[in-house]
Amino acid sequence: MGKTAGMNILFILAEISLLLSIFLVLHWLISKVFKKLRQFQALRKKHQKLKILHRNIKGVLVLCWAILSITVLGVNGFLIYRGENLKEYTFQLIRTISPEVWLQLGLGIVKSLSVLILAALFLRFLHYVLNKACGFAQNFDQFSANDESIEKFFGFLNRNLSNSIWLLSILWCSQILQFPAIVSLYLYVLLRIYIIIAVGLLIFKAADVMIDSLDALSQKYSNSDNLLRFYDRLRHLLPFFKRCLEVAIYVYMATLVVQQVELISSLATAGIKTIQIIGIVLICRVFTEVANLLVEEILLRNQSLTGVQKQRRLTIIPLIESSLKYFIYFGGGIWILEIIEIDPTPILAAAGILGLAAGLGAQNLINDIVCGFFILFENYYLVGDFIETNDALGVVEAIELRTTRIRHPDGQVYIIRNGDIGLIVNYSKDYIYAVVDVNVAYESNLDHVYKVLEELGKQLQELYPEDVLEATEVDGVEDFGNSGILIRTLTKLLPGNSHRGKHDDIQGVLRRMIKDAFDREGIELSVSQHVVSFKNQDESNLTKKKLGSRYSESPH
């Protein structure tokens, strides 16, 4: 009796150990799955949520194992209470199973092991081929800029092909072992979902490699003689294009995954509309940049433009670009409303009424816009002019519909409403005079002095033909000073981009030329002299006393 009881206890322990082994294998498989999930770039930010989910599934497994173990203990306890020998009872149940079933089970196990072995061998060969293909792709285009993208692509392809093959092998094994149909169905759905996600991410990785390769090729073969010369000005769109492509692929993957679940498959249409909206936003952004590029190319490609003409076009270009931007995005907004099945007609009518009401109330806005047009059409100032208005001083950076931006020489930016601009001092308008005053002695021959100054003016114009519009003009005698005669000269110049522009440099050059010429010609420059006498404190006090006594003795 004691021997039978001992055998029953060992048998119960063996059954519980078998259950524990099965659940440990399941736990290992689930851990592998979560480890693979953490490798996805889209799920890296949800690491904590995946960790919590993994912990919850582990808790459910432990609970199931505990419940099944308690059930095994209860059933075996009941059998022992009835006086059954657990070993004989279990073997009796096994003997009731026909030999054909055992044969099929054995063959199924052998076939399943064969499938898993073949999968492992195939994966080893696949890894070797992909490594060789990665090296060939990196050396094929002779560019190192995209090597990292190629390596990531082939690494991602390697991992996902491995996971897909293992999932497919498990699905085949479940069918070979004739598991319940529901198990095969769920495995098949899981495999399809995984393949959808893997292929979607693979497409994005492949697109990333292609974009990087085309980027490197475009930079290499870009020159001023072909259309690729515009590429550098559009290259900043690449990150935005990649983000749009990535989001569109994620949305499309989610749409295909939702279609696999019948309960929520009706939501798949929202994904298609979302992809269309992303495409519209991308198209609007690209069209805006291309339109800006064409405007600048058309207005500025003429190399024979004068400085004033170029300034005018630089001033009007931001207004054209801003109008095109609003027009393109407005059209994109109407297109989006049609995609989400909203009639834009009532919205446009309401927007017109609201715009009219806002226009009647926003008098300052209208005033700013009208003043901006007058500033442009009457040519008060242009982009690049150095102006002074109100409390602002600096170079005009932009003239917009409502405001003017002025950059101070110290770096700060003034943003002034066009309607608030009052008195304007433009230091860059048409021309400016470099004024140089010369003080000569009263004994000097003025005719000789005038002749020398006029000759110097001609030399100065030859030295700076692009800046000096007219030769230096002697304006005549300006003043009779205590020490000499003041003669003023005027040199007409092109204006600079600051109130201390070209004329400040020309004045310095002309003064030096005058000094050298007067030295050669023997003309004396007159300089005012001031004599300052410093006395000590005692002498100063004594003088004050003498002066005071003298003033007191004089009659009033």
215 and 227 in a single domain? The answer is no
Residue 543 lies inside a defined structural domain of this protein = no
Provide the strand spans (E) within 231-377.
Answer: none
The whole-angstrom separation of Cα 32 and Cα 361 is 66
Residue 526 lies inside a defined structural domain of this protein = no
Residue 547 lies inside a defined structural domain of this protein = no
78 and 135 in a single domain? The answer is no
- Res 42: pLDDT: 56
Q: Are 286 and 325 in contact (CB under 8 A)?
A: no
Residue 440 lies inside a defined structural domain of this protein = yes
Report helix, strand or coil for 406: strand
Show Cβ contacts of residue 250 under 8 Å, excluding neighbours closer than 6 positions: 42, 200
116 and 67 in a single domain? The answer is no
> Token match 């000590």: residue?
536
The whole-angstrom separation of Cα 204 and Cα 196 is 12
Show Cβ contacts of residue 221 under 8 Å, excluding neighbours closer than 6 positions: 228
Instruction: Let me know if 283 is exposed, middle or buried by CB neighbors in 10 A (0-12, 13-18, 19+).
Output: middle
- Res 189: pLDDT: 74
Phi, psi of 399 (to 5 degrees): -120, 110
Write out residues in the chain with pLDDT < 50, as ranges.
530-535, 537, 539-540, 542-556
Given 47, 68, 96, which residue is the final one in a domain?
96
31 and 109 in a single domain? The answer is no
What is the identity of the amino acid at 211?
I
Q: Are 392 and 408 in contact (CB under 8 A)?
A: yes
The whole-angstrom separation of Cα 547 and Cα 396 is 62
Given 175, 206, 221, which residue is the final one in a domain?
221
Q: Could you tell me which of 444, 465, 456 has the C-alpha nearest to residue 513? A: 456
Q: Could you tell me which of 160, 250, 143 has the C-alpha nearest to residue 204? A: 250
Q: Can you give the CATH number for the domain in which 406 is found?
A: 2.30.30.60
196 and 152 in a single domain? The answer is yes
Q: Which domain holds residue 26?
A: 1-96
Residue 356 lies inside a defined structural domain of this protein = no
- Res 556: pLDDT: 34
- Res 555: pLDDT: 37
Q: Is 411 left (phi over 0), alpha (psi -120 to 50) or beta?
A: left
Strands lying side by side in the sheet with 473-480? 432-440, 485-493, 473-480
- Res 432: pLDDT: 78
What are residue 434's DSSP bridge partners?
A: 491
What is the identity of the amino acid at 81?
Y
Q: Tell me: the pLDDT tens digits for 362-391?
A: 567 777 777 877 777 777 888 878 888 878
Q: What is the DSSP string of 10-50?
A: HHHHHHHHHHHHHHHHHHHHHHHHHHHHTTSGGGGGGHHHH
464 and 515 in a single domain? The answer is yes
Long-range CB pairs of 468-473, under 8 A, 24+ apart, other chains included: 468/492, 468/493, 468/506, 469/431, 469/493, 469/494, 472/510
Q: Tell me: the pLDDT tens digits for 509-556?
A: 888 888 888 888 888 887 655 444 444 545 445 444 444 443 333 333
SS (H, E, C) 479-518: EECCCCEEEEEEEEECCCCCCCCHHHHHHHHHHHHHHHHH
Show Cβ contacts of residue 466 under 8 Å, excluding neighbours closer than 6 positions: 494
Strands lying side by side in the sheet with 386-389? 413-417, 403-407, 392-399, 386-389, 424-426
Number of domains in the chain: 5
The whole-angstrom separation of Cα 496 and Cα 13 is 98
322 and 294 in a single domain? The answer is yes
179 and 229 in a single domain? The answer is no
Residue 504 lies inside a defined structural domain of this protein = yes
pTM: 0.48
Report helix, strand or coil for 79: helix
* CA-based end-to-end distance of the chain: 155
What is the identity of the amino acid at 220?
K
Residue 330 lies inside a defined structural domain of this protein = yes
The pair of structure tokens assigned to 20 is: 């524990």
The pair of structure tokens assigned to 51 is: 């960790």
Residue 358 lies inside a defined structural domain of this protein = no
> Token match 């079933």: residue?
101
109 and 183 in a single domain? The answer is yes
182 and 239 in a single domain? The answer is no
133 and 191 in a single domain? The answer is yes
Show Cβ contacts of residue 130 under 8 Å, excluding neighbours closer than 6 positions: 154, 157, 158, 161
Q: Can you give the CATH number for the domain in which 484 is found?
A: 3.30.70.100
296 and 279 in a single domain? The answer is yes
- Res 37: pLDDT: 67
What is the identity of the amino acid at 229?
R
